[in-house]
Amino acid sequence: MDDHDVSPGPKGSLRKFLEQLSGAGKAIGVLTSGGDAQGMNAAVRAVVRMGIYVGAKVYFIFEGYQGMVDGGSNIVEADWESVSSILQVGGTIIGSARCKDFRSREGRLKAARNLVQLGITNLCVIGGDGSLTGANIFRKEWSGLLEELAREGTIDAEEVEKHGHLNVVGMVGSIDNDFCGTDMTIGADSALHRIIEVVDAIMTTAQSHQRTFVLEVMGRHCGYLALASALACGADWVFLPESPPEEGWQENMCIKLSENRARKKRLNIIIVAEGAIDTQNKPITSEQIKELVVTQLGYDTRVTILGHVQRGGTPSAFDRILASRMGVEAVVALLQATPETPACVVSLSGNQAVRLPLMECVQMTQDVQKAMDERRFKDAVQLRGRSFENNLNTYKRLAIKLPDSQIPKSNCNVCVVNVGAPAAGMNAAVRAAVRVGISEGHKMFAVYDGFEGFAKGQIKEIGWADVGGWTGQGGSILGTKRTLPGKYLEDIAAQMHTHSINALLIIGGFEAYLGLLELSAARGKHEEFCVPMVMVPATVSNNVPGSDFSIGADTALNTITDAFHSSLMLLKERDSYPEFCIPICVVPATISNGVPGTDLSVGFDTSLNVIVGTCDRIKQSASGTKRRVFIIETMGGYCGYLANMGGLAAGADAAYIFEEPFDIRDLQSNVEHLTEKMKTTIQRGLVLRNESCSENYTTDFIYQLYSEEGKGVFDCRKNVLGHMQQGGAPSPFDRNFGTKIATRAMQWVSTKLKESPGRGKRFVSDDSVCVLGISKRNLLFQPVAQLKEETDFEHRIPKEQWWLKLRPLMKILAKYEASFEVSDVCQLEPVRHRGPEEQAAI
């Protein structure tokens, strides 16, 4: 791409970047330490490739600190290809270990000797708080260690001077999400995927029996996995270390279980964190809970302990993207470090990468444990961070229905409608909106089949129990249509009048946004529309103005990466056993080959069709070579989000999108680039193409171009993913995002309605018609009138899209000389102790 690089940002900023932040002459060591987690490999890959890109040498340090202490063949220079094809692999390819030696100064002296001999003075550590603490101690001791090495004659004074200080940057790899300072650690989302796959399997297979499942998930000191999975599956009860159940919980839990049974629920789910305790700090075990349910209620009860399954399998799209972003950021942080800057950790706040002082975060993490030990549980929850607290409050609110006597009556009627194409997570959002609405005293109405259904009077009151079990279901249970309200204004106003609707919550995509604009414009004519109206974005295309993310986009991304990697697995089998080229044999082989991501995961049934289809085409092709390039077409209309982020998550070589126009010269340089790459040991190429990126450079055209130009080097497969991206079970992220964002929207509705005690206030100002979106670190309500300016209506996309900034990153990681925007790099900031009113973004 070089000269034709059209990524955003001023031309020549690559040169500027390299001048400012050259890695020439520097050496970076990268290691993974402590418990392994999915996504660590993506982080390693990003560090290696970004390091090489800025001209530094990068060294693998195998087996964590043990390899650093032992030295020799444990520290090896990495090259570009040494991190090929690891993006989709779980665990860590450079190994991880616990290391006793490193805890002693003697051990660290050995480690310093090994590093300094290779000139490594930059260290990137991927691990938990223990590993990061070790790194910080090492950094502080470094100059003393070097002096000692000089005294013993290992190095000379000049080297002591030259390698005088050690820069340390940490990334948190931990499935537990147990580190303060980041909303998500690398691996936590994938672990949630594993847990939810199991819960979904239990739910679908156990319907014929009345059973109670006690599911124990990891988290000896941290309840994140338990809490987030309880939220994602609507569990009946959850046990966490940070928030022990109140005295007398045994009875309360049994009452809740039997109440749910009385409502004809056949299945109870109880989730227990490994480290669950009661208010006296005594462990609560799964067996104990089972005992209780069996003796008190006599229910058939099974305990499932998930164990290491949670660390297994392919990393989710979210983890791959997170780890890739963090890895690049870590290298930049190392290059910018000075002896004065403290060791930092790169982390995530909302949708924003941030750098925080490492030790302050470690301290806060340890404070949580201390608070729990001292039974200050409120503090423990607060110290965990705003996202954790928000999860806990949301869970409690949605799982337990208050007795009617405790609910204040608002005398308001609020209706919920789905608009646009179905997106995974919509149902979770409806469930949350309905339950929060009821608990705030409103009467909730559901509209079926979008605005069209609304006009026809398909509107009905909906109750707490009606939305039970909705979180995990794909598609839209209410039914959704793309129709805009414009031609039905009279009828919709009449329905709103008949049912005395006081507020409207719309869950949908770009049509929902257009619909809001139309309703708002019709306020002058129909006073029924003078009520608070809010939409939460739900669309796989992620093209709603006013939000970085929309519900459903994460699920679609996972489908894209899954489809690609399933295809890879198939090909691997095929290469070694050509006689296995019948579709039906290959699928079980994939499962037995340990790709849990494909056997139960999101959209399995639909990706099965793709797999079989891909396999058919492979069977028909005459192959003489093992090298292959996949051309995959993604959905999204004119919005390139899925292609771009799918590309980042799957390690694509190119992703063609509408937002970044390309011409024949770009195509040529891409093909040449890929051909060169495929002449090395790299065997697989991936090219993504957004469905509307170009009118004439169609998927077929690109397929043919690559096929022709790749002759003799590689052959091509193409795959149009189509509607499978909309279906499937929603990913944990989509479920919880949908739940939390709809909860906030409903709270906004209530606040607005409280502004007008009694009915009948007319809401006419712009700020009573809003989109609720996530922007950087915050959830924001933005008036649609204001967002109009920011919308490209012709192409149905926001004029500015945050993820375009990640485009260079994808290219750099695919070995292009793309320009990297220095201006977007984050700065070290203090750890924020938030006020009680500050809300979590996600």
Q: Which of residues 383-402 bind ligand ADP (CB under 6 A)?
A: 399
In the complex, the smallest distance separating the C-beta of residue 441 from ligand ADP, rounded to whole angstroms, is 19
Interface residue with ligand ADP, options 29, 234, 275, 357 (CB under 6 A):
234
Task: Please report whether residue 134 would count as binding ligand ADP according to CB under 6 A.
Answer: yes
Q: Which of residues 525-564 bind ligand ADP (CB under 6 A)?
A: none
CA angle 281, 284, 285 (to 5 degrees): 145
Task: Please report whether residue 176 would count as binding ligand ADP according to CB under 6 A.
Answer: no
Please give the radius of gyration of the chain, using alpha carbons only, rounded to the nearest integer. 27
Which residue's CB is nearer to ligand ADP, number 268 or number 547? 268
Total of residues contacting ligand ADP (CB under 6 A): 33
In the complex, the smallest distance separating the C-beta of residue 362 from ligand ADP, rounded to whole angstroms, is 10
Task: Please report whether residue 131 would count as binding ligand ADP according to CB under 6 A.
Answer: yes
Task: Please report whether residue 463 would count as binding ligand ADP according to CB under 6 A.
Answer: no
Q: Draw the binding track, 424-453, toward ligand ADP (x: CB under 6 A; -: no contact).
A: -------x----------------------
Task: Please report whether residue 211 would count as binding ligand ADP according to CB under 6 A.
Answer: no
In the complex, the smallest distance separating the C-beta of residue 815 from ligand ADP, rounded to whole angstroms, is 31
What 3-state class would DSSP assign to 292? helix
Q: Please identify, among the stretches 359-367, 462-470, 589-597, 603-611, the one whose residues bind ligand ADP according to the rule CB under 6 A.
A: 462-470
Task: Please report whether residue 773 would count as binding ligand ADP according to CB under 6 A.
Answer: no
Which residue's CB is nearer to ligand ADP, number 465 or number 591? 465
In the complex, the smallest distance separating the C-beta of residue 713 from ligand ADP, rounded to whole angstroms, is 43
Q: Please identify, among the stretches 124-132, 561-569, 766-774, 793-801, the one whose residues bind ligand ADP according to the rule CB under 6 A.
A: 124-132
Cβ neighbours of 665 (radius 10 Å): 11
Which residue's CB is nearer to ligand ADP, number 105 or number 376? 105
Task: Please report whether residue 105 would count as binding ligand ADP according to CB under 6 A.
Answer: no
Residue nearest to ligand ADP (CB): 130
Task: Please report whether residue 102 would count as binding ligand ADP according to CB under 6 A.
Answer: yes
Interface residue with ligand ADP, options 29, 39, 127, 187 (CB under 6 A):
127
Q: Draw the binding track, 471-510, toward ligand ADP (x: CB under 6 A; -: no contact).
A: x---------------------------------------
The answer to whether 606 touches 614, Cβ cutoff 8 Å, is no
Residue type, 175: I
Cα gap 176→173, rounded to integer Å: 9
Q: Please identify, among the stretches 180-188, 265-273, 369-377, 655-663, the one whose residues bind ligand ADP according to the rule CB under 6 A.
A: 265-273
Task: Please report whether residue 310 would count as binding ligand ADP according to CB under 6 A.
Answer: no
The answer to whether 176 touches 185, Cβ cutoff 8 Å, is yes
Residue type, 119: G
List residues bridging with 269 in a β-sheet.
Answer: 213
In the complex, the smallest distance separating the C-beta of residue 204 from ligand ADP, rounded to whole angstroms, is 8
CA distance to 573, 575, 764, per residue, from 592 (Å): 11, 17, 60
The answer to whether 553 touches 541, Cβ cutoff 8 Å, is yes
Residue type, 564: F
Interface residue with ligand ADP, options 268, 286, 310, 725 (CB under 6 A):
268
In the complex, the smallest distance separating the C-beta of residue 672 from ligand ADP, rounded to whole angstroms, is 44
Residue 529 structure tokens: 């529309």
In the complex, the smallest distance separating the C-beta of residue 222 from ligand ADP, rounded to whole angstroms, is 11
In the complex, the smallest distance separating the C-beta of residue 131 from ligand ADP, rounded to whole angstroms, is 3
Task: Please report whether residue 103 would count as binding ligand ADP according to CB under 6 A.
Answer: yes
Task: Please report whether residue 267 would count as binding ligand ADP according to CB under 6 A.
Answer: yes
DSSP state at residue 186? B
Task: Please report whether residue 137 would count as binding ligand ADP according to CB under 6 A.
Answer: yes
Cβ neighbours of 264 (radius 10 Å): 8
> Residue 143 belongs to what H/E stretch?
helix 129-151
In the complex, the smallest distance separating the C-beta of residue 439 from ligand ADP, rounded to whole angstroms, is 13
Which residue's CB is nearer to ligand ADP, number 85 or number 250? 250
Catalytic residue, candidates 176, 189, 554, 666: 176
How big is the chain, counted in residues?
A: 842
Decide the pairing of beta strands 75-77 and 57-61. Answer: antiparallel
What is the distance of C-alpha 535 from the center of its chain?
Answer: 22
- In this structure, is the dihedral angle defined by the CA atoms of residues 229, 775, 534 and 537, taken in order, positive or negative? negative
Residue type, 300: D
Query: How many helices (DSSP H) and strands (DSSP E) are in the chain?
Result: 28, 24
Q: Which of residues 17-36 bind ligand ADP (CB under 6 A)?
A: 33-35
Interface residue with ligand ADP, options 469, 613, 722, 783 (CB under 6 A):
469
Task: Please report whether residue 236 would count as binding ligand ADP according to CB under 6 A.
Answer: yes
The answer to whether 767 touches 520, Cβ cutoff 8 Å, is no
Which residue's CB is nearer to ligand ADP, number 127 or number 637? 127
What 3-state class would DSSP assign to 683? coil
Residue type, 335: L
Which residue's CB is nearer to ligand ADP, number 240 or number 477? 477
Interface residue with ligand ADP, options 129, 197, 659, 666 (CB under 6 A):
129
In the complex, the smallest distance separating the C-beta of residue 196 from ligand ADP, rounded to whole angstroms, is 12
In the complex, the smallest distance separating the C-beta of residue 211 from ligand ADP, rounded to whole angstroms, is 10
What 3-state class would DSSP assign to 758? coil
Task: Name which of 741, 788, 747 is nearest 766 in CA terms.
Answer: 788
Task: Please report whether residue 133 would count as binding ligand ADP according to CB under 6 A.
Answer: yes
Q: Please identify, among the stretches 147-155, 325-333, 467-475, 481-489, the one whose residues bind ligand ADP according to the rule CB under 6 A.
A: 467-475
Decide the pairing of beta strands 501-508 and 654-656. Answer: unpaired
Residue type, 617: R
Q: Which of residues 33-72 bind ligand ADP (CB under 6 A)?
A: 33-35, 65
What 3-state class would DSSP assign to 630? strand
Task: Please report whether residue 265 would count as binding ligand ADP according to CB under 6 A.
Answer: yes
In the complex, the smallest distance separating the C-beta of residue 382 from ligand ADP, rounded to whole angstroms, is 22
Name the phi and psi angles at 721, rounded to 5.
-70, -35
Which residue's CB is nearer to ligand ADP, number 234 or number 646? 234
In the complex, the smallest distance separating the C-beta of residue 236 from ligand ADP, rounded to whole angstroms, is 4
The answer to whether 546 touches 787, Cβ cutoff 8 Å, is yes
Cα gap 166→163, rounded to integer Å: 7
Task: Name which of 713, 687, 711, 712 is nearest 700 in CA terms.
Answer: 687
Decide the pairing of beta strands 167-172 and 344-349. Answer: parallel
* Catalytic (active site) residue 548: no
What 3-state class would DSSP assign to 334? helix
Cα gap 175→311, rounded to integer Å: 7
Which residue's CB is nearer to ligand ADP, number 101 or number 767? 101
CA distance to 243, 252, 289, 461, per residue, from 246 (Å): 9, 9, 15, 34
Residues 6+ apart with CB under 8 A from 575: 626
List residues bridging with 447 in a β-sheet.
Answer: 459
Footprint on this chain of ligand ADP (rule: CB under 6 A): 33-35, 65, 98-99, 102-103, 127-131, 133-134, 137, 174, 203, 234, 236, 260, 265-269, 399, 431, 465, 468-471
Mind telling me the catalytic residues?
176
